Structures are given as C-alpha cells and as structure tokens.
C-alpha cells in the first residue's frame, strides 16, 4: 500500500500557498496606501480552503475580493493602514503556524521511514 504526499500532508501545503498569496496581496495594499484610486484587495481564507478541499483537480487561483473601507477617502483609495497592518500581522502568524504543522508532518514521515 502506497502513501501519497496529498494524503500524508493533508491541507497544509494548500494553506501555506494560500497564506503566501494573501501576504502578497496585503503587502501590495500596504505599498499603495497613498496611491489615489487604489482598491484594497484580500482573500477569504476560510472560503478558499473550503473551495480547495471540494475540488479534486489542481488548485486554482484564489478569488480576490475588494475590501470595503470603513471610511472612504476623498482620493478614492480604500486602503486603511491600521486594518492592513493588523491583517498582515495575523496572516504572518497564521503562515508560521501552517509551516509548523507542515514541518511536524514531515518529521512524522521521516520517523516512519526510519522506523522510529
């Protein structure tokens, strides 16, 4: 009986990839905090994980959504610096946690291979 990496690693590779995509979007939002008419974007992590768990094919690109601002600015920019910084910090912590889970899976596989 063979074990595939998909079964052995579970959802953790998809979670890491999705967290990375979200970090790129959030950093772009932060970089464009003063750009007129820039629309802040984000990913709904939970919805994307559910979507990826239901699809049996290759993972597709996440659906990017525009963030609705709490208070619109006069120049049309929807980036709220404090919101983006908080979301980026939370995403970074979640990314580190996903990497830790993935590392634990690899450690378990290594022990199983070595017979320990």
Tell me which residue of 87, 73, 72 sits closest to 29, measured CA to CA.
87
Tell me which residue of 81, 112, 102, 11 sits closest to 52, measured CA to CA.
11
Domain ranges of the chain: 9-110
| Rounded Cα distance, 79 and 58, in Å | 32
Average pLDDT score, the chain: 89
Whether 79 contacts 30, CB under 8 Å: yes
pLDDT, tens digit, 9 for 90 and up, residues 33-51: 999 999 999 999 999 988 8
Residues 13-23 have a mean pLDDT of 93
| Rounded Cα distance, 23 and 17, in Å | 10
Whether 59 contacts 52, CB under 8 Å: yes
pTM confidence score: 0.84
pLDDT, tens digit, 9 for 90 and up, residues 75-84: 999 999 999 9
More confident residue, 59 or 30: 30
Residues 66-86 have a mean pLDDT of 92
């Amino acid at each position: 009986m063979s074990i595939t990496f998909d079964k052995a690693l579970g959802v953790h590779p998809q979670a890491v990839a999705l967290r990375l995509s979200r970090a790129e979007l959030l950093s772009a939002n932060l970089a464009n905090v003063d750009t007129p008419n820039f629309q802040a974007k984000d990913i709904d992590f939970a919805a994307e994980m559910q979507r990826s768990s239901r699809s049996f094919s290759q993972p597709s690109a996440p659906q990017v959504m525009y963030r609705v601002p709490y208070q619109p600015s006069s120049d049309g920019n929807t980036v709220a610096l404090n919101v983006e910084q908080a979301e980026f910090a939370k995403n970074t912590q979640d990314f580190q946690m996903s990497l830790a889970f993935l590392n634990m899976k690899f450690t378990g596989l290594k022990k199983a291979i070595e017979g320990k």
